[in-house]
Structure 1
Amino acid sequence: MYLKSCKVLQEKIHKKNVYPFNIPSLQHLQELEFPTNVTFFVGENGSGKSTLLEAIADRCDFNTAGGGRQNSYEVHEAQSALGEFLRLSWLPKITNGFFLRSETFYQFASHIDLLESHPNKYAAFGGKSLHHQSHGESFLSLFMNRFKGKAIYLLDEPEAALSPTRQLSLLKIMKDLEHEAQFIIATHSPILLGYPNATIYNFDCEPIEAIRYEETIHYIVTKRFLHAPEAIFAELFDEERES
């Protein structure tokens, strides 16, 4: 393991009524530990999981718009306000890794295209421009070619571009790297969340708490829908008529 925990310096935050410090899950967060090599952040949109992941990326000196330490480019509002109030505890500390920010991946791909041309320009991305691959193919090319060795990988909703089959491919990549790499992933995917023996933190709770896979709303809703979709539709459509 590399990143052991992150600590929020609450005593240094003086304006807790403004974003992102007013997010309920983060308002009183003191410390979060990472006891396994795979950790998931789950919660509804706006629950703070991506905000914390971005702050961790900031403290790792990764580009908060997406990329690693060597990727320098600008994206509007890609800075992390929480980052300066976060302290990371390492054992040992590593500098290699990558932050995948799904919503700005297009800009990251453009950044790679604009780099000075050389023979190995696209070596970490399947040998060709990410813009010359489908969205899902570009994500998978990144995972297959860039992810290797001792590193920490921070992924913000990687399932956004991945089919269910490609999500399984990502799980296989993670498994192949389990003795070398650490993953922290913010996700809504019940497939990814099924990774064996992962730590899952629920950001819909105050304070944030670890839960089992079967306790996640993602698992519960998906299982219920697959078992009885007609019942789900009946509830949804009856509610619409009543409203």
Structure 2
Amino acid sequence: MFLKKITLLKDDIPQVNSYPFSIPAIKGLRELELTNKVTFFIGENGSGKSTLLEAVADKCGFHTAGGGKNNYYDVHSSHSDLGDYIRLSWMPKITNGFFLRAESFYHFATLQDELEKDPFTRTNYRAYGGKSLLQQSHGESFLSLFQHRFNGQAIYLLDEPEAALSPQRQLTFIRILHDLVEYEDCQFIIATHSPILLGYPNASILNFDGGTIAEIQYEQTDNYRLTKYFLQHREKMLNELLRDD
């Protein structure tokens, strides 16, 4: 464990009713304790999970469109307003890590290709399995990142990594996650909708729905319950969903 606590500096916020401070889960936040090497953020779209994850990335010095501390490229609206008003408590403080943002990963992959054109920054894609991320499928490029660039004593912030991963590749990622946590001393905070990833054993699951951020058990999550019910009652659910009233 490296990052222990996230604190919202409420007294410093100029307009508490403006976005993103108006998001119920963010508005109700004071201190968020992190007690596990793997923490999942879950909640409906707009619940604030990605907003808080981006703010943590910003405070860590990672590029908020995706990348580490030394990745510099211009992407519109990559500044985190929330990042200016949180404090991170570390023990010990580390600087190694990465922020993965599925929706803007293309920009990061393009940056790596540009760096490979310069003889002073060329690495022959050593951190990505020896091949351009843009010459791999979306899912393959994600796994290349996880397998080759991620390493020990670091914090990794992942925003919906399942977006590019098939169910089988999600299981592969769980194995990679396990090895990095158990043998490489890594910490992960992952915003996800995936009931497969949420099944990672002994992880903390923090739910952003309901106006607060609260820990929840795997079987209590909507991600698990809705998926399970659909698989068991597919025809019934689809008939109800698609019927003409």
> Which TM-score tier does this pair reach, normalised by the shorter chain?
over 0.9
Residues 119 and 9 from structure 1, CA distance in 2 versus in 1: closer, same or farther, beyond 3 angstroms? closer
Residue identity matched to 2:140? E
Q: CA deviation at 1:17?
A: 2.1
Kindly indicate whether the alpha-carbon contact (under 8 Å) linking 1:109 and 1:131 is maintained by their aligned counterparts in 2: yes
Q: CA deviation at 1:177?
A: 1.4
Secondary structure (helix, strand or coil) at the match of 1:127 reads coil
Q: If the length of structure 2 is used for normalisation, what is the TM-score?
A: 0.96
Identity %: 60
Counterpart in 1 of 2:48? 48
Q: If the length of structure 1 is used for normalisation, what is the TM-score?
A: 0.96
Cα distance in 1 for partners of 2:36, 2:181 equals 10
Cα distance in 1 for partners of 2:69, 2:60 equals 8
Deviations 1:31-68 (A, max 9, x none): 11110100000001111000000000001000111000
Q: CA deviation at 1:19?
A: 1.3
Q: CA deviation at 1:205?
A: 2.2
Kindly indicate whether the alpha-carbon contact (under 8 Å) linking 1:10 and 1:28 is maintained by their aligned counterparts in 2: no
Cα distance in 2 for partners of 1:155, 1:212 equals 20
Q: How does 1:147-186 map to 2 (within 5 A)?
A: 147-179=150-182, 180-186=185-191
Cα distance in 2 for partners of 1:68, 1:53 equals 14
Secondary structure (helix, strand or coil) at the match of 2:193 reads coil
Residue identity matched to 2:86? L
Structure 1, unmatched stretches of 5+, are none
Q: CA deviation at 1:119?
A: 5.0
Deviant stretches of 4+, over 3 Å: none
Q: CA deviation at 1:23?
A: 0.8
Structure 2, unmatched stretches of 5+, are none
Residue identity matched to 1:87? R
Q: Which moved more, 1:10-19 or 1:111-120?
A: 111-120
Secondary structure (helix, strand or coil) at the match of 2:55 reads helix
Counterpart in 2 of 1:220? 225
Counterpart in 2 of 1:120? 123
Counterpart in 2 of 1:135? 138
